[in-house]
């Protein structure tokens, strides 16, 4: 026994010239560990933990080399040959990688000081490694051109401790170059992707179950379906001018092809992952793109979305930088740990590996209406770094570049495998260098990484439901009783009034008529603006026609109930909205008219004419008596439903720029509108004179009581606020693709979300519920935004985060509208393919696709009272 240069003692066996070394590792869970090597030399380098240079896993092995607070390099191995472009393997406790070409090295990730196990049996370089799914016994499979060998890890370790040579079971021979290995969920079969074929090998009988043929190029990846174990999905590439990647779904029990989907891409697919919670298939491309497919039954393996990893990374860092700029200096120092400013994103980010990531503790499901899978994430390993990708909103949660940590031994990776540990707080990543022979094992503090790059509860004080009383300095503060109170008169006038207060103005007991009473009433002038029958002129009263409660568990409409053509000729319908009681449906047309139909689309509609441009928005008052409309002529008009008469017209003399959108606000107390970059609040008074002559003299009036510019003076493209109850918050979307939340109680901007979409938002839709049902209070903090060519995003005001992204409806050139169902469980969207798409808030792809239109569907609206009906443009009703 001789003293070691490291922290421990070295024990030498003279008979075999074998060095047995006992290390006391303060960082390990165990006290001592025995390691065996033919010729071992223990050395310590300055600033690092003990480094062991051994001959049996011949290379340099470094333990616990600190490289930062977020990442720790647990070990580093220098192999004799390169191990790039090979399939590495990580499980919950172990990782496996090729060593020196034809040897397999298995490392314990929980205790790196534990003896690494080296398995030999291949004569050709190992190209693929995979772990089994069962915990005991844990299987590991390795493949090369000569053999496919299955190893039982516990048996191999026992033989190694006894001094015997571990041996595996040969599953197949001379199958060709294997690019991918996958074991079935029950470990009874292994899929070997060699060349253009997939060999299904039986692990018990060591026989070939089936050979799956049909690919035109080399099979690059394969995955078993976890809930349908007889299915396996694979991708390949052919070598034509423009490579075509074919995802295929096989029944490996029958040896038949079930589904074949062609996807055009300029680069081959390198990796696959199936997420059981969201029922989605994710595949990574060599040019840094992700393709996501839905595996839900009935979706027919439809493509949900395609994500450019480089663009997502650039957008993510811009958002992180904007959040850090708004934090105190101390917070900035904490959040920027490990992130070098000025670093450029790599030109290409090939997706080398995909792995599950559990962030349920970091990203809690705060919203009760969203299911738990809204926190489903995955690890993306590329040559430049690691990414945490959210499968619900298709956004990055964290980015970690290898070069940002100068102590990391590998700056550019050639192969990558990553896996979260139990609990999700940490993850292990196995890397091989692209240029060189280094193999490194990294331990990543995933929770700390995500928290360091997230906003610090920026929206924790925001809520649609008010939490405080109206401030006396707020523009929303008003006193109706004091406004109508007459000012006190001087004493002299008061005395005079008291004298004649109780005296009649006419001192005759009878007044003779001048003749007007005996003359029949003749209407002097009446414009023909309403073509409805007299029976339709009755004023709607919500309380008198209140129906049953809207069922919370109602299913979305799927069948056409009634269809009606609004206008003959090429007349587009730009907007549509139901009244709060569900009795009336208002439509704004491009021919300057607004129409009001009965909810059942029967009878003649009321016609509201007066605009000189296409009607852009229509909005009902809370009591259902008034209809508000804006037009491209820059005017705002307030209509009375009784007689379809104009009650108020506000033009350019009030607005500095044309009013783009307007609505009633604060339970009909104000009119909220956008004019250029300003948000304006108008107080209005409507005169309800019924005199035949005086009613044509406009006595209604309005005045601006408050205006607030947006940050950066950007033009407002859409706004939204709740009018069914008192709420202080107003949501706006800007031309610069930002979302801004205004608190009108405080009279200022409360929060800003930059780069909400890739294009300007053309509609904000809040989950306002319905007067026929009550939702949980946290439901009202949800709102959706849509932009041309960028899908629909679901946001939460409390976190100011995009919680889910809805993709699948074609919307590339024309702004298509969206709407929430009264129960808050569905979002409907128009589309350019003449269909209406129904999305469940718990899924990122559409659940129903409703046909019936002959042109682009530009707007949708749910009936607030009847769940079996849904109207949208061209006035088609669904049930």
DSSP-assigned states of every residue in 71-119: EEEEEEEE-SS--TT-B-EE-SSEEEEEETTTEEEEEESS-TTSPPEEE
Residue 258 CA to residue 253 CA, distance in Å, equals 12
Burial 350-378 (b: 16+ CB within 10 A, else e): bbbbbbbbbbeebbeeebebbbebbbbbb
Structure tokens belonging to residue 638: 């307030």
User: In DSSP terms, which residues pair with 460 in a beta bridge?
Assistant: none
How do strand 678-685 and strand 670-675 relate by DSSP bridges?
antiparallel
Structure tokens belonging to residue 794: 């679901």
Residue 664 CA to residue 682 CA, distance in Å, equals 10
Residue 654: per-residue pLDDT: 80
Question: How many Cβ atoms are within 10 Å of 522's Cβ, its own excluded?
Answer: 6
Residue 459 CA to residue 463 CA, distance in Å, equals 8
- Domain span at residue 210 reads 86-308
Residue 456: per-residue pLDDT: 56
Would you say residue 295 lies in a domain? yes
Structure tokens belonging to residue 417: 């495998």
Residue pLDDT, tens place only, 115-134: 788 999 999 999 999 999 98
Residue 25 CA to residue 31 CA, distance in Å, equals 7
**End-to-end Cα spacing for the chain:** 85
595 neighbors 589 (Cβ within 8 angstroms): yes
Would you say residue 540 lies in a domain? no
Residue 750 CA to residue 89 CA, distance in Å, equals 47
Residue 672 CA to residue 664 CA, distance in Å, equals 6
Helix/strand/coil for 763? strand
Would you say residue 321 lies in a domain? no
As for how many domains the chain has, the answer is: 1
Ordered DSSP codes for 175-240: ---EEEEEE-TTSSEEEEEETTEEEEEETTT--EEEEE---SS-EEEEEE-SSSTTEEEEEEB--S
Helix/strand/coil for 277? coil
Residue 126: per-residue pLDDT: 92
Of the candidates 858, 842, 683, the one whose C-alpha atom is nearest the C-alpha of residue 296 is 842
Residue 514: per-residue pLDDT: 42
Burial of 192 (0-12, 13-18, 19+ CB in 10 A): buried
Residue 743 CA to residue 727 CA, distance in Å, equals 9
Distance of CA 112 to the CA centre of its chain: 37
Would you say residue 832 lies in a domain? no
Full-model pTM: 0.79
Residue 563 CA to residue 836 CA, distance in Å, equals 14
Residue pLDDT, tens place only, 234-253: 888 764 433 344 567 767 77
Low-confidence ranges of the chain (pLDDT < 70): 1-68, 112-113, 238-247, 250, 255, 259-264, 323-347, 361-375, 424, 455-460, 479-554, 689-698, 867-879
Of the candidates 712, 707, 783, 713, the one whose C-alpha atom is nearest the C-alpha of residue 748 is 707
Would you say residue 277 lies in a domain? yes
Would you say residue 234 lies in a domain? yes
Domain of 155, CATH number, reads: 2.130.10.10
Would you say residue 239 lies in a domain? yes
357 neighbors 363 (Cβ within 8 angstroms): no
Whether the ω angle into residue 137 lies within 30 degrees of 0, i.e. cis, is yes
Residue 549: per-residue pLDDT: 67
Of the candidates 360, 427, 337, the one whose C-alpha atom is nearest the C-alpha of residue 387 is 427
174 neighbors 194 (Cβ within 8 angstroms): no
Burial of 659 (0-12, 13-18, 19+ CB in 10 A): buried
Distances (CA, A) of 489 to 153, 316, 479, 495: 99, 65, 21, 10
Would you say residue 285 lies in a domain? yes
Structure tokens belonging to residue 451: 């928290």
Residue 409 CA to residue 79 CA, distance in Å, equals 14
Residue 763 CA to residue 732 CA, distance in Å, equals 9
């Amino acid at each position: 026994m001789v003293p070691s240069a490291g922290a421990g003692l070295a024990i030498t066996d003279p008979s075999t010239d074998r060095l047995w070394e006992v290390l006391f590792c303060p960082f390990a869970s165990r006290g001592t560990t025995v390691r065996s090597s033919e010729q071992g030399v223990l050395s310590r380098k300055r600033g690092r933990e003990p480094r062991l240079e051994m001959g049996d896993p011949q290379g340099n092995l470094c333990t616990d080399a600190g490289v930062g607070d977020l990442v720790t390099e647990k070990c580093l191995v220098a192999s004799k040959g390169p191990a790039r472009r090979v399939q590495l393997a990580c499980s919950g406790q172990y990782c496996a990688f090729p060593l020196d070409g034809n040897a397999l090295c298995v490392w314990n990730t929980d205790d790196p000081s534990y003896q690494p196990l080296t398995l030999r049996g291949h004569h050709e370089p190992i190209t693929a490694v995979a772990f089994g799914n069962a915990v005991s016994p844990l299987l590991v499979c390795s493949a090369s051109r000569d053999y496919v060998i299955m190893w039982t890890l516990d048996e191999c370790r026992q033989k190694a401790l006894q001094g015997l040579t571990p041996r595996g079971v040969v599953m197949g021979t001379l199958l060709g170059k294997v690019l991918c290995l996958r074991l079935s969920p029950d470990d009874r079969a292994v899929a070997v992707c060699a060349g253009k074929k997939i060999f299904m090998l039986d692990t018990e009988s060591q026989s070939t179950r089936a050979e799956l043929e049909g690919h035109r190029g080399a099979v690059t990846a394969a995955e078993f379906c976890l809930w349908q174990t007889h299915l396996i999905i694979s991708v390949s590439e052919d070598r034509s001018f423009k490579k075509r990647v074919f995802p295929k779904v096989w029944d490996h029990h029958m040896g038949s092809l079930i589904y074949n989907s062609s996807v055009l891409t300029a680069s081959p697919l390198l990796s696959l992952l199936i997420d059981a919670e969201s029922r989605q298939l994710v595949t990574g491309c060599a040019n840094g793109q992700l393709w996501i497919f839905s595996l839900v039954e009935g979706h027919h393996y439809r493509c949900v979305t395609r994500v450019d990893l480089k663009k997502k990374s650039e957008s993510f860092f811009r958002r992180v930088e904007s959040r850090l700029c708004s934090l105190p200096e101390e917070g900035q120092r904490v959040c920027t740990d490990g992130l070098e400013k000025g670093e450029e994103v790599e030109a290409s980010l090939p997706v080398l590996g995909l792995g599950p990531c559990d962030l349920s503790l970091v990203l809690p499901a705060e919203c009760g209406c969203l299911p738990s899978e809204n926190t489903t994430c995955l690890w993306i390993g590329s040559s430049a770094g690691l990414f945490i990708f959210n499968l619900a909103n298709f956004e990055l949660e964290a980015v970690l570049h290898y070069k940002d940590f100068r102590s990391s031994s590998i700056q550019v990776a050639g192969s990558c495998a990553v896996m979260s540990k139990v609990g999700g707080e940490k993850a292990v990543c196995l890397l091989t260098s692209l240029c060189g022979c280094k193999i490194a094992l990294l331990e990543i503090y995933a929770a700390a990484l995500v928290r360091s790059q997230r906003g610090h509860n920026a929206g924790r004080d925001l809520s649609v439901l008010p939490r405080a009383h109206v401030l006396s300095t707020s523009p929303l503060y008003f006193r109706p009783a004091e406004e109508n109170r007459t000012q006190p008169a001087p004493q002299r006038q008061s005395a005079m009034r008291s004298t004649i207060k109780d005296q009649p103005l006419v001192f005759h007991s009878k007044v003779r008529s001048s003749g007007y009473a005996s003359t029949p009433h003749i209407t002097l002038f009446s414009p023909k603006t309403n073509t409805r029958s007299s029976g339709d002129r009755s004023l709607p009263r919500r309380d008198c026609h209140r129906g049953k409660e809207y069922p919370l568990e109602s299913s979305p409409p799927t069948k056409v109930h009634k269809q009606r053509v609004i206008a003959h000729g090429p007349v587009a319908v730009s907007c549509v909205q139901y009244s709060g009681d569900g009795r009336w449906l208002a439509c704004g047309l491009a021919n300057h008219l607004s129409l009001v139909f009965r909810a059942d689309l029967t009878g003649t509609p009321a016609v509201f004419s007066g605009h000189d441009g296409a009607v852009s928005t229509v909005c009902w008052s809370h009591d259902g008596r008034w209809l508000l409309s804006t037009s491209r002529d820059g005017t705002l008009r307030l209509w009375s439903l009784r007689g379809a008469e104009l009650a108020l017209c506000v033009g350019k003399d009030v607005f500095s720029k044309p009013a783009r959108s307007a609505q009633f606000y604060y339970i009909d107390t104000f009119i909220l509108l956008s004019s250029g970059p300003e948000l304006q609040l108008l107080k209005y008074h409507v005169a309800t004179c019924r005199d035949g002559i005086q009613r044509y003299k406009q006595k209604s009036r309005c005045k601006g009581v408050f205006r607030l510019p947006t940050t950066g003076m950007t033009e407002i493209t859409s706004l939204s606020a709740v009018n069914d109850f008192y709420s202080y918050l107003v949501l706006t979307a800007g031309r610069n693709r930002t979302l801004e939340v205004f608190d009108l109680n405080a009279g200022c901007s409360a929060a800003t979300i930059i780069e909400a979409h890739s294009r300007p938002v053309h509609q904000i839709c809040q989950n306002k519920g319905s007067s026929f049902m009550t939702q949980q209070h946290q439901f009202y903090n949800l709102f959706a935004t849509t932009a041309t060519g960028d899908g629909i995003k679901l946001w939460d005001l409390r976190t100011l985060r995009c919680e889910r992204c809805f993709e699948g409806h074609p919307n590339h050139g024309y702004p298509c509208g969206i709407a929430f169902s009264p129960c808050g469980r569905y979002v409907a969207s128009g589309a350019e393919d003449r269909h209406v798409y129904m999305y469940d808030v718990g899924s990122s792809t559409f659940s129903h696709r409703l046909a019936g239109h002959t042109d682009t569907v530009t707007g949708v609206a749910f009936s607030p009272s009847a769940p079996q009906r849904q109207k949208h443009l061209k006035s088609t009703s669904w049930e």
